[in-house]
Each structure stands twice: as C-alpha cells, then as structure tokens.
Chain A
C-alpha cells in the first residue's frame, strides 16, 4: 500500500514547528524519525496528515548532564542513546533498553521523543522513564511545561501531550552511587516488541519496578516495590501478578504474560544480587 500525506513542511525551529501545527486546522502531525509514523502511513492507518517534519531541528537533539539531572533531547536517536557514555554512566537502563528496540537500521533513525510520544504499550522507553521517574518537557503555543512521567502516559498510543504541543526532551535524575538498573524482557525474536518487559531500579530510597506490554500503558508496580523493599521476593511476585492486568492477543495469553512478569522479576532480582540469571 502507499502512503497518503495531506502535505509536508520542514520545520526550521521549535517556534516554526509550533506555528505549523497551529496553522494545520487540527490535521498537523509531528514527524520525527518516522519509524512508527511512516510505517502507519504506508499501511494507511494514518491518512491525510499535514506532516510537520521536526527531524532537522538540531536544538532538539543531544544529551547533557546538568547538575544532578540528565537531559536528553527529543530528537536524540536510539543509536545515540545506546552508545553515549553519559547515558551509560547516569542512566544505564536506557542504554540496555536500546539493545532491545527494533533493529540497527531502525535505531539509526528512531528518536526517544518519538518513542515516548508514540506511547506504544510494548515499547521499552516509556517503562524505563517511569522506572527512573523522568520528567517530560513540552513546548506549546502558550509556552513550555513539564509533565511528570506518572501523568504522561494515558492510554494505548495516547499521552498527556496536546495536539498543538511538541515534546522537546526529558530529564532524569542521574543514578546515585551504587544504584542498580536492570532491564529484562521476553520477545520471540531479536528486535520484536516485547511479550512482557520489566525495568528494575534499586536506589537508597528503595526499589522501582515498571512493566511494559502488560496493559494499555506502562505500569509502576507499587505492591511489588514495597515487598522488595521489605526483602520478600515471593511476596513481590505475588503482588506483581495481582497488580497487572495483561491482555491476551495473538502473541501471548494474559495468563502467560502474568507468569512472565513474575519470571522477569525473579531474573532481575537475581541480577541485582550478582547471580547469573
């Protein structure tokens, strides 16, 4: 099938992109890496969009440490997140996630902002940002605002971003000394979306556990986190299976996904303790 776009405009700056969106009569659609959007256009799942191509806005790309936060521009490509030494040092979870995202050629163009704005429930980055307590930064006609990650993901493919807003970047607290971050997932083939995935961070204040591909949006597993803080892994696995409500689909049944959630939690905790899983 062939894509149908209503029109195309190349944005020179964030301001320009916002003006284009504002002038699009609600038909505007941000185009970043295109690795989800162009696929949807080719399949005619998305028709008649007025494309606002932000991919050449250099100010939206890049990684920087600012005090005790790590800032990642929305247009930073997966491949760059996966090889950047600052990400490796301060948010290793994101680096590990990249190895699971699609294939090399897709990682060369896909962007972290695109993955977050797209909000695929099976995608790695949304759950990673939830586990790490990230803040999303958006720019709209009325200026900029910050959105806590807990409020950002709303539904399948739906976020708190308004149609006239652009995600400009994210900030994350840099990893504390001794913090551990672990990503575990099960997929049938390398590069496929996960059947179930789990992010675990262990900080001085306690554990953070976020899952993906277990529902319409990533889930922070508060019950499992409390049980891990209390040192009870079996209770954490029980709590986890009670607090997720995964779907059945052609890839996996709900029961299998729930089972995998517990398996992945045990694997992640084993890695925390230094045991080979």
Chain B
C-alpha cells in the first residue's frame, strides 16, 4: 500500500519569475533545493530548525522559513529569493540603505533580513522602531548589534512614505 507515497516528488513552480520543473527528494527542504539544485546560494541554511532566519525567502507573497518548507510543498508556488529581488531592482532602496547605514558586516544574515524587512515595508505606512524590531525578531545577526539594521529599515519606510506623498 505504501506505493502511494513517493520518495521523489515532481514539482512545478516559478523561481524569481522563471518556470522550474524538478523532481525533488521527499525530505529535501527549500533551501537545499534552491542552493544545490538551482545554484541560488543567496538564502542560507544555518540552524535548519527555524530559529535564525538566515533562510528567509518569499513564497506567494509571504516571507517564510526556507528550511521549514519542503521543496515538495512548493508545487504551484511563486518563489522569490534575494537573487531575483536584486535583479528586478525590487528592493534597491533597501539594499542601498543597508550599505549606507552599515547594516551588514559579514552579510550572512542579510538575504534573510532583507526579505523579512521587505515584507514589513510592503504593508505600507511607517512602522515604529519597536514594530521593526518585532518583525525582525526572528532574524539573527551575529555582527551588527541590530541598531544599524533598524536604522536602515526605518529610513526606507520614511523614504517610501515621503515619495508616496510627493
């Protein structure tokens, strides 16, 4: 009866706007799929149990933990990683603010941090520093001490709000 279960699963999805068809191992998570099969090494696999946020990617408009989603579950989804968000200039202002504010040092946390921050910014409005902190509370950074990251996100929120008014 167990032939109803597959150890390789066919999936069809889009990644950074490009259609992808693949046959993935049943237990493989999204980050290994993106990194090992598609060569998209921006999102990192670090703790692999949901704690650090280095694996944060966008799936169907939500920021999610890539390490806690199986590639087999990605069938029919629209996935964006830091590579696609960079190529389309979708978060250019945020990336520039990170550089200007020194919001990264080693950069290991940055791809996940940017995806998480963009989710908050995309809701519009100007979040308070406390709201920014809360939204990024699931993304660890071992280098910056967070202040500079909050500064960067806050300045982008203010910048976008200003632009909206102008």
Contact residue among A1, A2, A6, A34 (Cβ-Cβ distance under 8 Å from B73): A34
Contact residue among A6, A7, A43, A104 (Cβ-Cβ distance under 8 Å from B49): A43
**Number of B interface residues, CB 8 Å?**
38
Residues B2 and A27 in contact, CB atoms below 8 Å apart: yes
Q: How far is the CA of A10 from the CA of B133 in the complex (A)?
A: 37
Known: A4-B27, A34-B68, A105-B56. A9 touches B135 (CB 8 A): no
Residues A53 and B5 in contact, CB atoms below 8 Å apart: no
Q: How far is the CA of A27 from the CA of B25 in the complex (A)?
A: 18
Residues B116 and A35 in contact, CB atoms below 8 Å apart: no
**Number of A interface residues, CB 8 Å?**
39
In the complex, which residues of chain A have a beta carbon less than 8 angstroms from the beta carbon of B4? Answer: 9, 19-20, 23
Q: Tell whether A172 is near chain B: CB-to-CB under 8 Å.
A: no
Q: Tell whether B151 is near chain A: CB-to-CB under 8 Å.
A: no
Closest to A109 in B: B64
A-B contacts, CB under 8 A, total: 125
| Distance to closest chain B CB from A61 (angstroms) | 14
Residues A10 and B1 in contact, CB atoms below 8 Å apart: no
In the complex, which residues of chain B have a beta carbon less than 8 angstroms from the beta carbon of A27? Answer: 2
Q: Tell whether A102 is near chain B: CB-to-CB under 8 Å.
A: yes
In the complex, which residues of chain A have a beta carbon less than 8 angstroms from the beta carbon of B7? Answer: 5-8
Residue of A8, A19, A191 with most chain B CB atoms under a 10 A cut-off: A8
Q: Tell whether A65 is near chain B: CB-to-CB under 8 Å.
A: no
In the complex, which residues of chain B have a beta carbon less than 8 angstroms from the beta carbon of A180? Answer: none
In the complex, which residues 122-166 of chain B have their Cβ closer than 8 Å to any Cβ of chain A? 133-135, 137-139
Q: How far is the CA of A4 from the CA of B32 in the complex (A)?
A: 13
Residues A106 and B2 in contact, CB atoms below 8 Å apart: no
In the complex, which residues of chain A have a beta carbon less than 8 angstroms from the beta carbon of B62? Answer: 79, 105, 108-109
Residues A102 and B138 in contact, CB atoms below 8 Å apart: yes
Residues B48 and A42 in contact, CB atoms below 8 Å apart: yes
Residues A190 and B50 in contact, CB atoms below 8 Å apart: no
Q: How far is the CA of A102 from the CA of B7 in the complex (A)?
A: 31
Residues B5 and A109 in contact, CB atoms below 8 Å apart: no
Known: A105-B64, A105-B116, A106-B65. A3 touches B56 (CB 8 A): no
Known: A23-B2, A35-B65, A50-B2. A10 touches B75 (CB 8 A): yes
Q: Tell whether A273 is near chain B: CB-to-CB under 8 Å.
A: no
| Distance to closest chain B CB from A231 (angstroms) | 36
Contact residue among B26, B73, B120, B139 (Cβ-Cβ distance under 8 Å from A55): B73
In the complex, which residues of chain B have a beta carbon less than 8 angstroms from the beta carbon of A109? Answer: 62, 64-65, 68-69
Q: How far is the CA of A20 from the CA of B27 in the complex (A)?
A: 17
In the complex, which residues 17-49 of chain A have their Cβ closer than 8 Å to any Cβ of chain B? 19-20, 23-25, 27, 31, 34-35, 38-39, 41-43
Q: How far is the CA of A102 from the CA of B28 in the complex (A)?
A: 23
Known: A27-B2, A55-B73, A191-B138. A105 touches B67 (CB 8 A): no
Q: How far is the CA of A50 from the CA of B147 in the complex (A)?
A: 44
Q: Tell whether A15 is near chain B: CB-to-CB under 8 Å.
A: no
Residues A104 and B63 in contact, CB atoms below 8 Å apart: yes
A65-109 near B? 1/0 per residue, CB < 8 Å: 000000000000001000000000000000000000011111011
Query: Can you give 8 A-B contacts (C-beta < 8 A)?
Result: A2-B32, A5-B27, A6-B26, A7-B6, A8-B6, A8-B9, A20-B4, A190-B134
